[in-house]
Every structure is written in C-alpha cells, then in structure tokens.
Amino acid sequence: MKKKNYYFTTFELLLWGVSSVAIVVSFFLGSDGNVLALIASLIGTASLILAAKGNLVGPLLMVVFSVLYGIISYGYAYYGEMITYLGMSAPIALATVFVWLKNPSAKGKAEVKINSLSRREYIFMWLIAFAVTVGFYFILKALDTTNLLLSTLSVLTSFLAAWLSMRRSKYFALAYAANDVVLIILWIMASFDSSGYFSVVVCFAVFLINDLYGFFNWRRMQRRQSAKVVQK
C-alpha cells in the first residue's frame, strides 16, 4: 500500500495546535482579554506555520496580522510598532507574496525557491536598516513613544526580517525570532498596566518557537532544493 504524503508533518500540526491552544488559554486568563489581540495572534500563528513551509499564504496572512497588530499597538501608544507594521511590515509582506509567487521551487509547487544573498546585498541591507532605524528613532521620540529604545530596536529587527523574507533568505526567521524577543519584553511591560495584553506576550512567545522552527525547516528545504538541482 502506497504511503500518503500529507502537507503538514505531525510535528507541524502539533506545534500549530499547541500554539493556538496556548494563545486561547492566555486570552481567557486575562481579566480584560483583548479580542482583537486573540484574533491577530491566531492569524499570526497560522502565518508562521505556512511561512515555515515556504508557502506564499504565510506572508499573505502576515499582511492581515500586521494591520491588526498595528491597531493593537496604537491602543497602548506603541507608535513605533504601529508605524512599523502598518507602514513597513504590511507593505513588504504584500510585496513578498508576489516575489514568492514568481519564484516557486518547482513548477506548480507550493514552496518558494530559497535564495542565497551576496555579501554586497547584506551590506546594502544593513545600510538601509541603519538609515531606517535612525529615522524612526527621531520620529518615535517626537511622538513620545512608550519605551522608545526598545521600540526603536523593534523597528530594526522588523525591517531585517521583512527584507530577508522578501529576498527569500532563510535568515528571515532568525530576524523575526530576534524581533519576537524584543516584543515579548515590550508587551510584558504593557501587561503590567492591563492584563488583557498578557495574551500578546504569549503570542510572541509562541511566535519565537515557531520562527526558530521556520529557520530549521528552511535550512532543510534549502538542502533538498540544492540536491535536486545537482541531480538534474
């Protein structure tokens, strides 16, 4: 009997399920649970699982998550997060959808072809990242943004993650993981004022685990794609 090949592995389904349950439970534990935060978190989790598979639906869902997260951030005066996700992450995620669509690993396959960036592009990326971060620092300072330095660091890690994702580099997942750590700290601070934001903390803790898996899986995908090229 021929063995069926399922799209998601058992581990991926387990990771997705446990992540979703953790987010829902944290929502109900909060005394003033933020429904929008719950919806955004569940969409974000689905986005990361699909992005880890190299599926373009991942960045498409990231566009939706970015919009919802921007609204949530505005509610706590995290203007850096709001501007970053609405003005940068969402547009770049949308561009990523089209880039991934044009670069499948094989004809008709729902998996993006992984790219290896040159040293010149890495230098170019860091120069742009530096300029964007400095510019955002003064904008956020003028807006009297809560936790200015951490919010500025979030801009940097968000930009790197979005750029690397659009350029189909496996390191996008590590950049997102770094961003997750920053956001965990930011929302822990916010949850001291309102327990409703605790679900957002859990959300990014879950995202951290998912992003680390994403990096692992993209490395595995890259080896597989390279092996197929050699065989041809």
* Better-predicted residue by pLDDT, 216 or 106: 216
pLDDT confidence bin for 112, thresholds 50/70/90:
very high
In the chain, how many domains are there?
1
Confirm whether 24 is domain-assigned: yes
Record the pTM. Answer: 0.87
| Rg (alpha carbons) of the chain, rounded to whole number | 18
Domain that holds residue 134: 11-102+119-231
Mean pLDDT confidence for 168-173: 94
Confirm whether 6 is domain-assigned: no
- Looking at the DSSP bridge assignments, the partners of residue 112 are 104
The percent of the chain in helix, strand and coil, each rounded to the nearest 5, is: 80, 0, 20
Confirm whether 110 is domain-assigned: no
Mean pLDDT confidence for 185-209: 81
Cα 59 to Cα 88, 165, 213, distances in angstroms = 13, 9, 16
For residues 172 and 87, give the distance between their C-alpha atoms in angstroms, rounded to a whole number. Answer: 19
Mean pLDDT confidence for 125-149: 89
Confirm whether 5 is domain-assigned: no
- pLDDT for residue 77: 74
- pLDDT for residue 195: 66
